[in-house]
Amino acid sequence: MIGFFLKKNFFDGWDNFLPLMIFNVAIILIFSVFFGLAYLVSAVSVLPVLILFMCIIGMGVLLLAVSNLMSRIADYKSFSLKEIGGEIKHTWRHGVLFALIETFCWVVAGVAVPYYFSFRNFLGLFLGVTVVWIFAVIQLSLLWFFPIRSRLESNFGKCLKKCFIVFFDNTGFTLFMLLYSVVLIIMTPFLAFLVPGFSGLLLAWNNAFKLRMYKYDWIEQHPEIPIQTARKQIPWDELLAEDRETLGSRSIRNFIFPWKD
């Protein structure tokens, strides 16, 4: 499954290089404007923090809207760049809520961890490490928020709940996706920050969630198989057959060495 995911995500990104690049440029410009404003008013202590907060809120709204469009790419569908406005209109509230939750988590962790470690005793170490682990679990779970909201669940509370369900049921795959995301982030500066960028990350997570959901659909269709047995017998070749046919016979080897076709 992972091998096909890597192939599909690569070709989805290549086939939609222009929209991915446009979204990334737009995100860079928004970052630049907000940080430029924060620099201009840096003499006033409160204003830079307020501008940074507004930037975080704006990014939450924009990223969720872009995720909805990346979800269409994962389904082999097309879209118009003009549709971003409609997506923002439909999802901005959840984008704001997600940004607020993330801000709250980072602020609490940023305050609590140094505070507990400052005790310099076993209790402080225990509490500090506990907060770190809770924070890590929350952040790893929330990595699934955008694809779940874009592809599965429109109720915000249920969406958050399913983030944790997906993480705990796919911990290893989540860690793989985290590593893959780090690789994409490292690649971005070498590609002039045009791709993969944020839009490439959102495409990757939507692709990953789309393919991972096949497992749950298959388990639901076979209630006669004990759940623990079913999890070990997922017929990925069968479940991915249609996607393989849709993607075609292209390979990364032929993409790099086209003269060998």
Q: What stretches of the chain adopt beta strand conformation (E)?
A: none
pLDDT in tens, 128-184: 999 999 999 999 999 999 999 999 988 999 999 999 999 999 999 999 999 999 999
Note the pLDDT of residue 67.
97
- With 0-12 / 13-18 / 19 or more C-beta atoms within 10 angstroms meaning exposed / middle / buried, residue 134 is middle
Most confident of 80-84, 128-132, 191-195, 254-258: 128-132
Rounded to 5°, angle at Cα 52 from 33 and 57: 95
Q: Which residues of 63-74 are buried (b: 16+ CB within 10 A; e: fewer)?
A: bbbbbbbbbbbb
Rg (CA), the chain: 21
pLDDT (average), residues 16-30: 94
- The closest of 142, 145, 57 to 93, measured between CA atoms, is 57
Dist CA 88 CA 64 (whole Å): 8
Q: 3-state DSSP call for residue 233?
A: coil
pLDDT at 71 over 80: yes
| Dihedral sign of CA atoms 205, 173, 186, 110 in order | positive
Note the pLDDT of residue 232.
86
| Contact yes or no for 98/145 (Cβ under 8 A) | yes
Least confident of 119-123, 138-142, 252-256: 252-256
Supply the pTM of this predicted model.
Answer: 0.94
pLDDT at 231 over 90: no
Percent of the chain at pLDDT > 70 equals: 96
